C-alpha cells in the first residue's frame, strides 16, 4: 500500500512540475494576482475574465521568473474566459485533454501561480456538464480554490490540462471550463475581439402546447412570441405575435432559456429553420440568424 501511495504521490508531483512550464501569473487587478495558461508559444495567454480588471498595464509572470507586459485581446463573461497577448515568445504550450478523456471520479489537481512559485490542491471531478446546443463544457470538482487560483489549470494525473478553473461561474462551487469551450471562445476572441452571439429579435414567454401537439412534437411547451423587433431576423422571416417557437435549427425550444441556448449554437449570418405553431398547425420558416450587438 505504501508503494502505491508513493507512486500516486510522485505522479501528482510530476504533473505539477510539468504544468508549471505552461503556468503564468496574471497581474491585472489591484489585489492578489491570479493565474493563467499559455495558449500559444508566441505569447497568447488564457485566463479568467473576472480577474482581468484592467485593459492596460497588465503584467505576466512567466515560468522562468521574467515579468512581461500584456494587452487584453478580448473577453467572454458568459464563460469567464479572457485572452491576453504577452510580450513573449518561445513559451511552452500544454497538452490539452479533450472532453471525452475526462470522467466523473477522476482525480485532478487545481494548479495556480498567484505568487512566484506554483501551488496545487487535489480533488475529484464530481460532475460533468455540457450545455445542449452550446459549446459549453464544464467540469465540477471538489478542489479548494485558493485565492489567485482562478485562471489556472485543472490538471489530470497524466499532466494533461483539462481546462481553466473559475470561482466566479457558480457561487460556492469550483467549476472548470473545459478544453472545447476554451478553444471555441479563444478562437472567436482572436478573430473578432469578442464573442459573436446569435440574435433573433423576439420576446417570448413559456406556453403550454395543445394536447394534440404534445405527442407529435415530443414536448409539452414552447416559447410564445410576445414581441417582435422591427427589422429583426424574426420580422424578416415572417414571425408574428402569437406564434409559438418550438424549434430552432436542430434544437427543440420550450422556453426563453431553450431559445437562447439554441441561438448560442448558431453563428451570426447562418441560415436555418425556425419551427413554430400558428393556429394549431406546425410550420417551418427559413431565417437568417443576426448578430447581437
- Catalytic positions, written as ranges: 50, 80, 150
The size of the chain, in residues, is 293
Give the whole-angstrom CA distance, residue 257 versus residue 136. Answer: 14
Q: Where are the beta strands (DSSP E) in 105-253?
A: 107-112, 119-131, 136-141, 153-156, 161-170, 173-178, 198-199, 202-208, 221-228, 244-248, 251-252
- Are residues 198 and 266 in contact, defined by beta-carbon separation less than 8 angstroms? yes
Which grid coordinates are listed for 156? 489530470
Element (H, E) at 89: none
Which three-class secondary structure state does DSSP give residue 4? helix
Residue 60, beta-bridge partner list:
26, 68
Residue 45, beta-bridge partner list:
38, 84
Question: Which residues are CB-neighbours of 6 under 8 A, at least 6 positions away?
Answer: none
User: Residue 53, CB half-sphere, CA atoms under 13 Å: how many?
Assistant: 8
- Are residues 228 and 113 in contact, defined by beta-carbon separation less than 8 angstroms? no
- Are residues 83 and 70 in contact, defined by beta-carbon separation less than 8 angstroms? no
Largest CA distance in the chain: 72
Amino acid at each position: 500500500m505504501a508503494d502505491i501511495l508513493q507512486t500516486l504521490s510522485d505522479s501528482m508531483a510530476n504533473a505539477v512540475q510539468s504544468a508549471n512550464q505552461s503556468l503564468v501569473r496574471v497581474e491585472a487587478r489591484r489585489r492578489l494576482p491570479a493565474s493563467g495558461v499559455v495558449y500559444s508559444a508566441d505569447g497568447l495567454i488564457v485566463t479568467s475574465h473576472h480577474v482581468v480588471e484592467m485593459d492596460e498595464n497588465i503584467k505576466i509572470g512567466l515560468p522562468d521568473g521574467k515579468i512581461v507586459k500584456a494587452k487584453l485581446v478580448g473577453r467572454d463573461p458568459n464563460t469567464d474566459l479572457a485572452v491576453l497577448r504577452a510580450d513573449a515568445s518561445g513559451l511552452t504550450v500544454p497538452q490539452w485533454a479533450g472532453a471525452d478523456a475526462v470522467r466523473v471520479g477522476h482525480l485532478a489537481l487545481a494548479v495556480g501561480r498567484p505568487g512566484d512559485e506554483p501551488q496545487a490542491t487535489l480533488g475529484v471531478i464530481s460532475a460533468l456538464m455540457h450545455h445542449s446546443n452550446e459549446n459549453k463544457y464544464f467540469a465540477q470538482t471538489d478542489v479548494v480554490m485558493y485565492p489567485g487560483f482562478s485562471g489556472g489549470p485543472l490538471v489530470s494525473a497524466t499532466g494533461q490540462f483539462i481546462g481553466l478553473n473559475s470561482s466566479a461561474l457558480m457561487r460556492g462551487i469550483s467549476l472548470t471550463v473545459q478544453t472545447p469551450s476554451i478553444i471555441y471562445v479563444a478562437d472567436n476572441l482572436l478573430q473578432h475581439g469578442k464573442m459573436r452571439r446569435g440574435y433573433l429579435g423576439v420576446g417570448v414567454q413559456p406556453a403550454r402546447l395543445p394536447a394534440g401537439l404534445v405527442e407529435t412534437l415530443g414536448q409539452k411547451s414552447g416559447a410564445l412570441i410576445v414581441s417582435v423587433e422591427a427589422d429583426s431576423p424574426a420580422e424578416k422571416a415572417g414571425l408574428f405575435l402569437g406564434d409559438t417557437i418550438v424549434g430552432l435549427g436542430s434544437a427543440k425550444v420550450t422556453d426563453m432559456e431553450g431559445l437562447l441556448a439554441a441561438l448560442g449554437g448558431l453563428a451570426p449570418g447562418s441560415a436555418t429553420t425556425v419551427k413554430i405553431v400558428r393556429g394549431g398547425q406546425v410550420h417551418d420558416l427559413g431565417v437568417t440568424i443576426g448578430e447581437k450587438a
